[in-house]
Amino acid sequence: MNNKAAAYRQLDTKQQLVEKHALLVKRIAHHLMARLPASVLVDDLIQAGMIGLLEAARNFDGSKGASFETFAGIRIRGAMLDDIRKGDWTPRSVHKNSRAIAEAINEVERETGADAKDVDIARKLNVSVNDYHQMLNEVNAGKMIGIEDLGVTEDVLTTESNKGLDRPLDDLMQGEFQKALAHAITTLPEREAIVLSLYYDEELNLREIGEVLEVSESRVSQIHSQAMMRLKSRMQSWQAE
């Protein structure tokens, strides 16, 4: 009888967690929608996110140190991203342009030893700066480009989360990857680093970031895409491994 009572209490606690954090699902869904095309419906993201929230409530272990909101946020985002990736509606040209941009950035920075600027990247791609910006817009709209795509969660932006000892080999390798990525982020041009920080850490949307930087929402999208392409370029050795 005591076991049943404990089980009921545990079930009630999980239900309370889900009810209390349902708004978190909506907030994350609308945040992601800021960089997704209109073909992705916010209701679909919310539905996938609720599944992630249920899984988080079922698997959460408070003794690990992380808050439930932090743990659930990662699971919710992951569930939404998985749902988006089930169907790849991105044109082949966008995939091709994404690779080409990352390679161009890598080549320019290897040749000059400095951050590749828009005009340098466009010249390497043999296109105009306007065409390059259009490529960035298409890459950003056509594929979910985010910290998650580099193999880590957004927690990598907080360097304290990269500390830890006594972990299995895979966790140690992931930790080293996170440290390398955190360092790569610190080497980004100032405006790109600011955009990533405002987007992932402060959770501002593209319009709000544009207001902070006094640029258009479209320009913020371009800066975000270029920052991610630059990170992909600088982390190529890890991706190869």
The pLDDT assigned to 147 comes to 53
pLDDT at residue 10, rounded to an integer: 55
Q: Quick one: pLDDT at residue 231?
A: 85
- Give one DSSP letter per residue of the chain, joined into a string: -HHHHHHHHHHHHHHHHHHHTHHHHHHHHHHHHTTS-TTS-HHHHHHHHHHHHHHHHHH--GGGS--HHHHHHHHHHHHHHHHHHTS----HHHHHHHHHHHHHHHHHHHHHSSPPPHHHHHHHHTS-HHHHHHHHHHHHHHS--SGGGGTS-GGGGSGGGG---S--HHHHHHHHHHHHHHHHHHTS-HHHHHHHIIIIIS---HHHHHHHHTS-HHHHHHHHHHHHHHHHHHTHHHHH-
What local confidence, expressed as pLDDT, does residue 129 receive?
92
Mind listing the pLDDT tens digit for each residue in 29-43?
A: 888 777 666 667 788
Q: Rounded distance, CA 179 to CA 174, Å?
A: 9
| Structure confidence at residue 126 as a pLDDT band (50, 70, 90) | very high
Predicted local confidence at residue 92, as pLDDT: 67
| Gyration radius of the chain's alpha carbons | 20
Contact status, residue 233 vs residue 105, Cβ threshold 8 Å: yes
How does residue 123 score in pLDDT terms, banded at 50, 70 and 90?
very high
CB 48 within 8 A of CB 79: yes
State pTM to two decimals. Answer: 0.53
In angstroms, what CA-CA distances link 42 with 21, 28, 144, 196? Answer: 17, 10, 15, 22
What percent of the chain is predicted at pLDDT more than 70?
Answer: 69
Residues 89-118 have pLDDT tens digits of 566 677 788 888 988 998 999 999 999 999
Band of pLDDT at residue 141, cut at 50, 70 and 90? low
CATH numbers and ranges of domains, the chain: 2-85 (1.10.1740.10), 92-240 (1.20.140)
Q: Which residues fall within 8 angstroms of residue 114, CB to CB, at 6 or more apart?
A: none
